[in-house]
Structure 1
Amino acid sequence: MSWSQLLFSFDGRIGRAPYWYFVLAVTVVFAVLFAFAGVSLFSGVGLDGVPDPAPSAGVAGVLLPLACIALLWPSLAIAAKRWHDVDKSAWWILIGLVPLVGGLVALVFNGFIAGTPGANRFGNPPPASVVP
C-alpha cells in the first residue's frame, strides 16, 4: 500500500501498527504546535503583570486550524480502514460523536482489537507490516 492509498483512500484494511504510528505522528505534530502556541502566547509579561501576546501568537493561531484541516481527511481514511479491518462499516467513525463512551469504543476497536483473520467483505487482511 502506497502512502497516498494509506492516507487518502477509504478502501482496504490496515492493522493496528499503522494506526498507532499515525496516532503517534499526529500527537507529535499537535504537541509541537501547542508548545509553540503556548510559548508564543505567553512569552512576555507587561508592566502590570499581565502576559502580553508575542508577535508570533498570530502564527500559532493560524497553524493550529490549518493542521486540523490538513489532517482531517487522512485521519478519516485511516480510521475507515481500521474499522474495515474489524469488519465494521466506516460509518462506525460516527461513534466518536457519542458523548463519554463513543471515543472509548472507537479507541478499543481501532487500537486494541485485532482485525478479522482472513478475508472479510472489505478485502484481504493487511500484511504483517504494512507501513510504507
Structure 2
Amino acid sequence: MGNLCGKPSSDAFSSPGRRLDSAPPPGKPSSASVPQSVSAAKTSKAPPKVGGPPRTLGGGGDPSSSQDDARRKAAEAAEARLQQSKKGGKLQAQLDKDKAKTRVDTLKDASEIERRHRDADSNAEILRNS
C-alpha cells in the first residue's frame, strides 16, 4: 500500500550502516538541538542569584513573626477541633449509650434480633407454601 497524500520518504535502510561503537558521520546535524532563546540566555548573562531566608507568600515583614502567627493560628484551630470532639454529636451519644450497656443487655439485644430473623424466615416459608 502506498501513501496517498504525502511525499515519498526515503527508506531508513537505504544508506550504509555503521557499527554501534562508532561515532555518527560528521556534517549531519542531530535532531535534538537547543532552542536559540535558551542558548542566547546562557551566554548573555550569569544566572540570577536565589537565596535568603524562606518566606511565606504574602508575608511582607519579619519572617519569624509570621511563623509565630501561623503556629498560633494552627494551635487555635487544634484547640477548636478538640473542643468540638468533646461535645460529640448524635453518633457520640449512641456510642456512649452502647458503651454503658452491660454484657447481659448486649446478649438480650442480640437474642431479640435473632428471634426477629427467625420469625421473618418462618413467615416467608409460610407464604411460599401457600
TM-score higher than 0.5 here? no
**With structure 2 as the length reference, what TM-score do the two structures score?**
0.25
TM (norm. structure 1) is 0.24
Structure 1 or 2: more helix by fraction: 1
Larger radius of gyration: 2
More relative contact order, 1 or 2 (CA 8 Å, 6+ apart)? 1
